[in-house]
């Protein structure tokens, strides 16, 4: 077997710093900044927008679900109340009928004669008005 | 380094016999395959797109409607029928909800067992119920509009396939009070007779509708379509009938019918000034011997006709006075019998011929005297006044089945008609028609058409009054006053003395007429119709009434109908607060003071 061979690494170039001496040229107050690509900001903005939109969508969806739940609850309550109204109306009708029956002359006369022992009124008596003496 | 051990070598498999493969077909290149796949997928997508466009765009509406029809359910909301009230707002007929028992036979597990349980409760034959519960239909009625108690008991049984439905049901809280006038309704609350039929349009409400979106399980979709068009209750009809007066009229009529063994009876009480009918009673004898009279099937006061007899003499007298044929002071030589054409007429009581005044003819209800006056009046004028007083045509009530009576044209009168017509024979009237002439006299000669309805109002309370009753002058006030005095005389000292009531002056006339045969011409032997018509107080009439008894025993109007009139009048004046006549010039109570007959105050003696 042969021993492995490695290519020797190239020696990195010495890059003079901005403040390093450069062969006597006048020092320019420049510095190296990280290169900024023009699309980075837009990407950040898009990412932020996407996040916001996604959050909003989630919140919206939850809100819709919640709203539908509230609606369903409200509908159930409305149905319950409608049934209650129907029942109360039916009861009111029943009582109205009962009152009308109790008020009918047949029932009143029967109660007066049978339960209370009353008797039918006789003919109206008309008294003669006698003029006072001497007038 | 050398291996010290070696793994055992696998055995060689037995070599299979290799058949020669068929020659491979030339295969398409992958590019071509991809192309075919692409085309296939494109076509599939295109088909989906076309279908999607058709569903979503071209036929979108049709599919939407189709979908809605599957989800939307329309529930019909029944409308309550309007109430019928008396003049004071007391309910005579009202609608209330009742339970209807129905079944889905497809869900009934044991039809025979269910029928056995339900039959005694619903009052339907077990076999009939079993047939219904075993039918192929998905809906069958078992019993409609049952009582709440029965519905509760059926519910408690918890029978599979048996369900309930709410429907409005007509109730008459006062029982059979004024039943022939109110009429009946059918199973679907439609008017069949009487006022229920006459005011069907007003009483019937408008059906409502609930449009609701439901899921396949039948539950309402919370955020789905929900459109409610509420039902509208029918309008409320307020009658002129007074419930208490109606009750008393029916009670008194029933008692008198029972006492006189009458087959039927009619009594109508009115306010002659307004034409308002305050009570209208129609009774027939019970089917079993000794049973109490029951309401008739129809309103006999306007549907049944009979020969009025002597109560019709008021028309002859009024016409003769109006035409100047007779005067209040005039006298006629009245024989006991009188021949007209080939018929001989006689008075009820035999008497010697004598000069009778008009008042005497009226108070003694002389047939001969009235016929003589009628002959002086003549056929044409008598016929004209009979019609002017309302005979021969139905009244303005326009009641269902109302009869106009029978009144022949003068050119069809026979030779004896001039003997029969003046005394109320040879013609037929309804009870309400016969009350009309007396109302006219009570109104000073002005005819006022009768009315049964005061107002029709809707749910908001907006009320609509019926048209004003027609008023038409028939005779002059002077004639009316004279006739009124004649009628008062007939009560005070004539045939109608049983109609007198203390404290008031009653004006009226008795009638006893033979009853026409139902199976042919002529009169039924021994069958009579007794009647009394009059008004009170005679000086300022507030109440008028007619009483008709069918085949009473005894049969004289003065004996059986006049006392009933007095009973009704006595109750009426007290109930409606009619003051008695104030004593004039002395301590005598009004009814005890004799009514002066003869000339009216406006006439010369």
- Which tens digit of pLDDT belongs to each residue from B313-362? 999 999 999 999 999 888 999 998 999 998 999 998 888 999 999 999 99
CB B418 within 8 A of CB B377: no
pLDDT tens figures, B379-399? 999 999 999 999 999 999 999
Are the beta carbons of B94 and A97 separated by less than 8 Å? yes
What would the two tokens of residue B303 be? Answer: 């549907």
Is the pLDDT at A123 greater than 80, yes or no? no
Q: What is the rounded distance in angstroms from the CA atom of residue B47 to the CA atom of residue B40? A: 11
> For chain B, how many residues are written?
605
pLDDT tens figures, B188-228? 889 999 999 999 999 999 998 988 888 877 777 777 788 88
Question: Quick one: pLDDT at residue B167?
Answer: 87
Per-chain mean pLDDT for chain B: 88
Pairwise pLDDT comparison (B22 vs B62), residue with the higher score: B62
Using pLDDT thresholds of 50, 70 and 90, give the confidence band for residue A87. confident
User: Choosing among A78, A124, A127, A131, which should be mutated to test the B contact, i.e. which has the most B CBs within 10 A?
Assistant: A124
Are the beta carbons of A128 and B589 separated by less than 8 Å? yes
Using pLDDT thresholds of 50, 70 and 90, give the confidence band for residue B78. confident
Is the pLDDT at B25 greater than 70, yes or no? no
Question: Quick one: pLDDT at residue B297?
Answer: 94
Are the beta carbons of B220 and A75 separated by less than 8 Å? yes
Is the pLDDT at B262 greater than 90, yes or no? yes
0.80 cut: is pTM over it?
no
Are the beta carbons of A94 and B174 separated by less than 8 Å? no
* CB contact B219 to A (< 8 Å): no
Phi/psi for B562 (5° steps) reads: -60, -45
B95, β-bridge pairs: B170
Are the beta carbons of B91 and A106 separated by less than 8 Å? no
Question: Quick one: pLDDT at residue A14?
Answer: 52
DSSP B560-592: HHHHHHHHHHHHHHHHTTPPPPPP-SSS--GGG
Question: Quick one: pLDDT at residue A24?
Answer: 58
Nearest CA in chain B to A90: B97
Residue from B392, B483, B381 nearest B438 by CA:
B483
Contacts of B565 (CB under 8 A, 6+ apart): B499, B506, B508, B532, B534, B545, B547
* CB contact B96 to A (< 8 Å): yes
Q: What is the mean pLDDT of residues B469-495?
A: 94
Q: What is the mean pLDDT of residues B551-570?
A: 95
| B106 C-beta neighbours (distance < 10 Å), count | 11
Q: Is B381 helix (H, G, I), strand (E, B) or coil?
A: helix
Is the pLDDT at B275 greater than 50, yes or no? yes
**Does residue B537 have a cis bond before it (omega within 30 degrees)?**
yes
* CB contact B493 to A (< 8 Å): no
Using pLDDT thresholds of 50, 70 and 90, give the confidence band for residue A133. low
């007929």: which residue's tokens? B93
Please give, rounded to a whole number of angstroms, the shortest distance from the CA of A14 to a CA of chain B.
52
What would the two tokens of residue B431 be? Answer: 């009870």
pLDDT tens figures, B493-520? 899 999 999 889 999 999 999 998 888 8
Q: What ipTM describes this predicted complex?
A: 0.74
What would the two tokens of residue B81 be? Answer: 């029928």
CB B532 within 8 A of CB B510: yes
pLDDT tens figures, A22-81? 555 666 777 777 776 778 888 889 999 999 999 999 999 999 999 988 988 888 898 899
Question: Among the residues of B212-337, which ranges form H helices?
Answer: 243-260, 300-303, 313-322
Pairwise pLDDT comparison (A33 vs B157), residue with the higher score: B157
Are the beta carbons of B222 and A94 separated by less than 8 Å? no
Are the beta carbons of B223 and A106 separated by less than 8 Å? no
* CB contact A79 to B (< 8 Å): yes
CB-neighbour burial class of residue B494 (10 A; exposed 0-12, middle 13-18, buried 19+): buried
Q: What is the mean pLDDT of residues B68-80?
A: 85
Torsion, Cα B551 B251 B511 B402, to 10 degrees, reads: -80
Are the beta carbons of B90 and A100 separated by less than 8 Å? yes
**Does residue B300 have a cis bond before it (omega within 30 degrees)?**
no
Q: Give the closest of B94, B97, B223 to A100, CB-based.
A: B94
């Amino acid at each position: 077997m042969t021993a492995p061979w490695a290519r020797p690494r190239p020696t990195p170039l010495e890059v003079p710093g901005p403040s390093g001496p450069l062969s006597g040229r006048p020092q320019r107050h420049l510095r190296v900044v990280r290169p900024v690509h023009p699309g980075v900001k837009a990407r950040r903005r898009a990412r932020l927008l996407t996040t916001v939109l996604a959050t909003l969508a989630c919140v919206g969806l939850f809100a819709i679900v919640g709203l539908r739940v509230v609606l369903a609850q409200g509908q159930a309550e409305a149905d319950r109340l409608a049934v209650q109204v129907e029942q109360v109306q039916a009861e009111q009708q029943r009582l109205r009928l009962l009152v009308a029956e109790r008020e009918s002359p047949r029932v009143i006369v029967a109660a007066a004669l049978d339960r209370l022992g009353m008797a039918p009124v006789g003919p109206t008596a008309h008294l003669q008005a006698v003029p006072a003496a001497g007038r | 380094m050398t291996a010290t051990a070696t793994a055992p070598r696998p055995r060689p498999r037995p070599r299979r016999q290799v058949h020669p493969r068929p020659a491979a077909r030339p295969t398409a290149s992958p590019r071509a395959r991809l192309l075919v796949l692409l085309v296939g997928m494109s076509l599939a997508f295109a088909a989906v797109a076309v279908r999607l466009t058709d569903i979503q765009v071209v036929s979108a509406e049709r599919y939407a409607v189709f979908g809605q029809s599957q989800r939307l359910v329309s529930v019909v909301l029944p409308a309550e029928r309007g109430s019928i009230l008396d003049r004071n707002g007391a309910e005579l007929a009202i609608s209330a909800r009742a339970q209807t028992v129905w079944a889905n036979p497809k869900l009934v597990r044991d039809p025979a067992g269910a029928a056995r349980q339900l039959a005694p409760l619903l009052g339907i034959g077990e076999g009939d119920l079993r047939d219904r519960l075993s039918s192929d239909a998905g809906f069958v009625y078992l019993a409609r509009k049952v009582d709440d108690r029965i519905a509760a008991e059926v519910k408690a049984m918890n029978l599979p396939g048996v369900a309930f439905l709410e429907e409005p049901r007509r109730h008459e809280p006062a029982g059979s009070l004024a039943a022939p006038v109110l009429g009946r309704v059918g199973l679907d609350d439609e008017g069949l007779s009487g006022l229920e039929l006459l005011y069907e349009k007003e009483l019937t409400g408008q059906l409502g509708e609930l449009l609701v979106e439901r899921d396949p399980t039948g539950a309402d979709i919370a955020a789905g379509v929900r459109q409610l068009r509420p039902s509208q209750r029918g309008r409320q009809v307020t009658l002129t009938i007074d419930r208490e007066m109606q009750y008393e009229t029916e009670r008194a009529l029933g008692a008198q019918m029972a006492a006189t063994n009458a087959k039927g009876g009619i009594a109508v009480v009115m306010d002659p000034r307004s034409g308002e009918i305050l009570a209208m009673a129609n009774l027939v004898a019970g089917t079993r011997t000794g049973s109490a009279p029951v309401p008739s099937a129809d309103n006999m006061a306007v549907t049944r006709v009979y020969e009025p007899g002597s109560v019709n003499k008021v028309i002859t007298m009024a016409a003769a006075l109006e035409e100047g044929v007779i005067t209040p002071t005039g006298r006629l030589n009245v024989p006991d019998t009188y021949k007209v054409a080939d018929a001989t007429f006689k008075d009820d009581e035999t008497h010697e011929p004598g000069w009778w005044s008009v008042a005497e003819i009226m108070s003694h209800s002389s047939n001969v005297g009235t016929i003589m006056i009628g002959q002086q009046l003549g056929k044409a004028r008598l016929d004209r006044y009979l019609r002017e007083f309302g005979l021969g045509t139905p009244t303005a009530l326009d009641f269902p089945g109302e009869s106009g009576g029978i009144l022949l044209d003068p050119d069809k009168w026979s030779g004896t008609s001039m003997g029969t017509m003046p005394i109320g024979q040879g013609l037929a009237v309804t009870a309400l028609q016969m009350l009309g002439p007396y109302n006219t006299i009570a109104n000073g000669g002005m005819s006022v058409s009768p009315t049964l309805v005061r107002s029709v109002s809707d749910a908001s309370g907006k009320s609509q009054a019926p048209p004003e009753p027609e008023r038409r002058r028939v005779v002059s006030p002077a004639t009316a006053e004279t006739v009124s005095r004649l009628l008062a005389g007939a009560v005070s000292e004539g045939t109608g003395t049983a109609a007198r009531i203390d404290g008031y002056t009653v004006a009226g006339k008795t009638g006893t007429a033979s009853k026409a045969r139902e199976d042919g011409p002529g009169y039924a032997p021994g069958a009579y119709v007794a009647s009394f018509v009059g008004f009170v107080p005679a000086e300022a009439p507030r109440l008028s009434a007619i009483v008709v008894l069918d085949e009473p025993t005894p049969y004289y109007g003065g004996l059986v109908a006049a006392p009933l009139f007095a009973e009704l009048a006595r109750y009426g004046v007290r109930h409606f607060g009619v003051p008695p006549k104030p004593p004039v010039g002395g301590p005598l109570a009004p009814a005890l003071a004799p009514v002066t007959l003869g000339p009216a105050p406006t006439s010369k003696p």
